[in-house]
Amino acid sequence: MLSSGFFLEHAWVIPIIPAVAFALIIFFGKKMPMKGSEFGIASMLGSLVFAAGAGYQWIQRVNGAGEESYVAPIVKTWTWWQSGGVEFGIGQHIDGLSLAVLCVVAFISSLVQIYSVEYLRGDRRYTHFFASLTLFSAGMMNMVVAENMIQLILGWEIMGLCSFMLIGHWWEEAANSRAALKAFFTTRTGDMG
């Protein structure tokens, strides 16, 4: 049996961190000194630390496999609900590729969050922007670790909704509203087929 380590065993926390930060921004963001951006930045940096730690432990796991040519992914599933003998679950599928993508997503999202602090300073919907940006990152991370198709689609739809909100952030300008609608309808068209 290959050892996993703390970060690999708790990799399910990686997309949960920004999801919790989204809720904190929504409920407490306007009362915070930096209007909620501190929750977004901290969540992305926390996810980055977790993803990097899990990536390091995955490398140790692969190196410790010895003669084995295949190291099985870490898959965990929890029952979400049951109905009529059908079970719907949520879970995680962690392997080297998903950890690499999680590291990239967390790193880029951290940079975007930090850059946006100054870029949007003084914007009247500053808190709304950071809530959308943080939820977008949570949706993307959820999609990366998705263990089943329902969870993958949920992450995809969260990203689509947040893309619409972020592209149309300054909806008073007609060009931004058109671009947001175009992105929304493009993803809906892509969803069909």
What span, in angstroms and rounded, lies between the C-alpha atoms of 182 and 62? 44
CA distances from 56 to 11, 17, 59, 61 (A): 12, 19, 5, 9
The winner for highest mean pLDDT among 5-14, 46-55, 120-129, 149-158 is 46-55
DSSP 8-state assignment for residue 12: T
Domain boundaries defined on the chain: 6-192
pLDDT at 2 over 80: no
Q: Give residue 169's pLDDT band: very low, low, confident or very high (50, 70, 90).
A: confident
Average pLDDT of the chain to the nearest whole number:
91
What's the pLDDT at 111?
A: 98
* Cross-strand bridge partners of residue 93: 75
What's the pLDDT at 1?
A: 54
Decide the pairing of beta strands 74-83 and 86-94: antiparallel
What's the pLDDT at 87?
A: 85
What span, in angstroms and rounded, lies between the C-alpha atoms of 76 and 147? 8
pLDDT tens per residue, range 128-144: 999 999 999 999 999 99
CA distances from 172 to 90, 116, 123, 180 (A): 39, 20, 13, 12
pTM value is 0.90
Nearest CA among 36, 34, 35, 39 for reference residue 18 = 39
Q: Give residue 158's pLDDT band: very low, low, confident or very high (50, 70, 90).
A: very high
- Alpha helix (H) residue ranges in the chain: 6-9, 13-28, 37-63, 96-119, 126-145, 149-167, 174-192
Dihedral sign for Cα 41, 44, 50, 52, please. negative
What's the pLDDT at 3?
A: 65
